[in-house]
Amino acid sequence: MKKVLIVGADSYIGCSFERYVQGRFDVVTVDVRNDEWRNADFKGFDSVLFVAGIAHRKQSADNKDLYYAVNRDLALSVAEKARDESVGQFIYLSSMAVYGILSGEITEHQIPKPLENDYYGLSKYQAELLLEELQVQDFKIAIVRSPMVYGPGCKGKFQQLVKIAQKTPIIPIIKNKRSMIFIDNFVEFLAILVQQEVFGILCPHNEEYICTSTMLTELSKGFGRSALRLRVPGFIVKLLMGLSSSAKNAFGNLYYSPNVAKMPFDDSYQMAGFEESIRKCIELGKG
């Protein structure tokens, strides 16, 4: 049985992974909100899953250093300890944000270039570069550039969509494509990384691209509401995208090309399709 050390307590992804692999892996979680982790014994673990991070908060000059301290410096320190104590694999949760693209398709030729004022994306990418330098034959680094993760109880952008679906009487019909990943699919993906000792840069996402209007519609139905679906003329869509960054983030295109999302293993991590994932979000979210 594989032994996994989750670094970062109370993380949505970390807690979801631990529940999901119960009985399949031997899992231990260590908190990094103080220095006690430095005294923890990493020996005997096959993999370290680093889920600690600063993400869902407004970025400013005042908290800039915190992003680098946790997303970059702490990750590097933990990885060095894992390597020194003979852990075989280090899994780092990075982000699609490292590409610095707010709209469009991310292809296999896209070079990461985080936005200058995006401390989240910058700190993640700098961590990637430093972690890759640690890789040797007996210490494998897996960097996971995930898109938006969604699931019951998930914070961040998905929670904003849930709130909109619960309240809005009108859902604009805007055709777009977004790469997202359902939490069940994501934790199964991580489990495969551990089981198969995968390394390298990986960009997982749901098998299907997601249209934001369709997601809002399915969420609204799940809450027993019947919002009016309204077609929006193309020129108004362009105007909204140009005037509102929130509208662009919600209804714009942002997706991985199939080549980027291709894995060194099959698509067996796709545990739930889109409609089933939304149903689970509604049902489990009520629990």
All structural domains of the chain: 3-150+180-206+261-271 (3.40.50.720)
Residue 104, strand partner residues? 254
State the Cα–Cα distance between residues 104 and 79, nearest whole angstrom. 33
Amino acid at 126: Q
* Predicted local distance difference test score (pLDDT) of residue 36: 85
* Predicted local distance difference test score (pLDDT) of residue 246: 64
Q: In sequence order, which ranges of 52-92 are alpha helices (DSSP H)?
A: 64-67, 75-84
Amino acid at 111: I
pLDDT digits (tens, 9 = 90+) for 40-52: 999 999 999 999 9
State the Cα–Cα distance between residues 60 and 38, nearest whole angstrom. 29
* Predicted local distance difference test score (pLDDT) of residue 54: 86
168 HSE (CA, 13 A, CB side): 18
CA torsion angle for 29, 33, 38, 43 (degrees, to 10)? 10
State the Cα–Cα distance between residues 213 and 226, nearest whole angstrom. 14
Q: What is the pTM of this model?
A: 0.93
Q: Are 242 and 185 in contact (CB under 8 A)?
A: no
Structure tokens at 232: 């929006």
pLDDT digits (tens, 9 = 90+) for 199-243: 999 999 999 999 999 999 999 999 998 888 888 776 565 665 554
- Number of Cβ within 10 Å of residue 110's Cβ equals 16
State the Cα–Cα distance between residues 155 and 149, nearest whole angstrom. 9
* Predicted local distance difference test score (pLDDT) of residue 267: 81
Low-confidence stretches of the chain (pLDDT < 70) are 56, 234-248, 286-287
Beta strands in the chain (DSSP E): 3-7, 26-30, 47-50, 89-93, 104-106, 140-144, 148-150, 170-173, 180-182, 200-202, 228-231, 254-256
Residue entry with tokens 């390394």: 199
Q: Kindly give the pairing relationship between strand 140-144 and strand 89-93.
A: parallel
Q: Are 134 and 80 in contact (CB under 8 A)?
A: yes
* Predicted local distance difference test score (pLDDT) of residue 234: 61
Question: Which burial class, exposed, middle or buried, applies to 174 when counting CB atoms under 10 A from its CB (0-12, 13-18, 19+)?
Answer: buried
